[in-house]
């Protein structure tokens, strides 16, 4: 069991390492990569993304002393000087998060790690269709994935993060909050960002997730776009998670839908490109166009591809 857990952590770390590697520039050159903005006004900030991915990766650390003192090998680069104010560990549910202040960005950072115990197969088997109503006012019909939402709403995460952010804002002025997470951590980060936007205002909360799954229905996605407009959902060419749970365009009311704004990282003739996707959340020319596009068209395909894992 302990061995399995360890393997899960290594696998997760490998995913993050891959993500980081794939964003590294050849030869370490600090050249801004190509951004394809489709002629739209949304601006993708590569420098900011490079810093935020360090926070999304650091929350996987199990050495809490290194995390607290911010002395991990990667904590030295763009996030040097980060001031940790709170580490939240939920052993029972295998969740971890931290809150602190990035004085360079003049922002409060919230980074969340989801559980690694449940594999993607388990999400599919047990939780894929189950949705629960959100009890925010002004969001009728919004439904979210019960497993992801419970992990945020019904654990220590929600009160502990809200308190830590409130304290940090008192101490450091009313700085912006940047919420981040990778994979299932990205799902929890989404709910956290929505919650903080409700408390502190939409203009003060930014969300940036890496390879997150879908978390709610179409109604939820459109409310989310309205309440957390500063959202960047990074996707990667070879990642399967953003295709789950599935979106069926012909059954939009019953299934899951991503919120915008996706930024799809992929290779074009050997060059890493960041494609800024359309405002729909489900741009057919982005991640959905890649290897996993078939996920969204037929359930049989979901099962067939999953069996290969
Ligand atoms: C991108 O983000 C960095 C770090 O916050 C900031 O210094 C820079 O001005 C931003 N660039 C643009 C074009 O907004
Ligand atoms: C979320 O948490 C609140 C407060 O603890 C609770 O009343 C509510 O039922 C929870 N929502 C869900 C969907 O679990
Ligand atoms: C890829 O990068 C190389 C070197 O910067 C450049 O010459 C080439 O045109 C790029 N290819 C594409 C498709 O952008």
Task: Work out which ligand 3 atom sits closest to the CA atom of 34.
Answer: 14
Q: What is the distance between the terminal CA atoms of the chain, rounded to a whole angstrom?
A: 20
pLDDT surpassing 80 at residue 292: no
Q: Determine if ligand 1 sits within 6 Å of the CB of residue 48.
A: yes
CA of 15 to the centre of ligand 1 (A): 26
Burial of 112 (0-12, 13-18, 19+ CB in 10 A): buried
Render pLDDT for 26-51 as a digit per residue (tens, 0 to 9): 333 445 677 776 655 678 899 999 99
Q: Determine if ligand 3 sits within 6 Å of the CB of residue 271.
A: yes
Q: Give the phi and the psi of residue 22 in degrees, each rounded to 5.
A: -70, -15
Reported as a pLDDT band with limits 50, 70 and 90, residue 262 is very high
Look up residue 151 and give its DSSP letter. H
Q: What domains sit in the chain, N to C, each tagged with a CATH number?
A: 35-256+272-306 (3.40.50.1820)
Render pLDDT for 61-76 as a digit per residue (tens, 0 to 9): 889 999 999 988 777 7
Angle among Cα 250, 256, 262 to the nearest 5 degrees reads 100
Residue 205 DSSP SS3 = strand
Residue 206 DSSP SS3 = strand
Q: Are 296 and 247 in contact (CB under 8 A)?
A: yes
Rounded CA separation 68/274 (Å): 32
Q: What's the pLDDT score for residue 39?
A: 57
Closest CA to 30 of 47, 42, 51: 47
Look up residue 134 and give its DSSP letter. -
Q: What's the pLDDT score for residue 120?
A: 52
Which pTM was predicted? 0.83
Spatial neighbors of 137 by CB under 8 A, at least 6 apart, are none
pLDDT surpassing 90 at residue 185: yes
Q: Are 233 and 282 in contact (CB under 8 A)?
A: no
Rounded CA separation 177/169 (Å): 9
Closest CA to 281 of 308, 257, 301: 257
Residue 13 DSSP SS3 = helix
Q: Are 249 and 218 in contact (CB under 8 A)?
A: no
CA of 33 to the centre of ligand 1 (A): 15
| Mean pLDDT for the stretch of residues 209-234 | 94
CA distances from 246 to 9, 41, 216, 250, 301 (A): 25, 29, 11, 12, 11
Burial of 154 (0-12, 13-18, 19+ CB in 10 A): exposed
Render pLDDT for 111-170 as a digit per residue (tens, 0 to 9): 999 865 455 555 555 555 678 899 888 899 999 988 889 889 999 999 999 999 999 999
Residue 135 DSSP SS3 = coil
284 vs 260, higher pLDDT: 260
- Going by their DSSP bridges, the two strands 143-145 and 131-133 should be labelled as antiparallel
Query: Residue whose CA is closest, atom 1 of ligand 3?
Result: 271
CA of 29 to the centre of ligand 3 (A): 15
Q: Which ligand is in closest contact with the Cα of 271?
A: 3
CA of 245 to the centre of ligand 2 (A): 22
Task: Work out which ligand 3 atom sits closest to the CA atom of 268.
Answer: 13
């Amino acid at each position: 069991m302990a061995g399995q857990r360890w393997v899960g952590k290594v696998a997760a770390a490998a995913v993050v390492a891959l993500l980081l590697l794939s964003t590294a520039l050849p030869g370490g050159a600090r050249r801004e990569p190509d951004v394809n903005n489709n002629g739209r006004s949304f601006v993708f900030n590569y420098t900011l993304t490079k810093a935020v991915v360090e926070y999304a990766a650091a929350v996987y650390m199990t050495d809490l002393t290194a995390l607290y003192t911010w002395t991990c090998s990667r904590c030295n680069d763009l996030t040097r000087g980060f001031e940790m104010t709170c580490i939240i560990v939920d052993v029972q549910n295998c969740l971890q998060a931290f809150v602190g202040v990035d004085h360079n960005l003049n922002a409060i950072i919230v980074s969340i790690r989801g559980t690694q115990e449940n594999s993607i197969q388990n999400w599919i088997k047990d939780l894929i269709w189950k949705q629960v109503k959100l009890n925010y006012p002004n969001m009728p019909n919004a439904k979210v994935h019960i497993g992801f939402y419970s992990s945020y709403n019904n654990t220590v995460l929600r009160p502990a993060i809200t308190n830590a952010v409130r304290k940090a804002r008192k101490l450091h002025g009313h700085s912006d909050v940047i919420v981040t997470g990778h994979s299932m951590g990205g799902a929890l980060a989404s709910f956290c960002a929505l919650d903080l936007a409700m408390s502190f205002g939409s203009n003060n909360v930014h969300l940036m997730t890496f390879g997150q799954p879908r978390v709610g229905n179409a109604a939820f996605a459109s409310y989310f776009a309205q309440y957390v407009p500063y959202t960047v959902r990074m996707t990667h060419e070879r990642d399967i998670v953003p295709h789950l749970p599935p979106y069926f365009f012909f059954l939009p009311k019953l299934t899951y839908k991503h919120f915008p704004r996706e930024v799809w990282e992929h290779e074009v003739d050997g060059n890493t490109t960041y494609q800024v996707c359309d405002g729909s959340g489900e741009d057919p020319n982005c991640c959905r166009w890649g290897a996993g596009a078939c996920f969204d068209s037929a359930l049989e395909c979901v099962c067939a591809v999953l069996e290969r894992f």
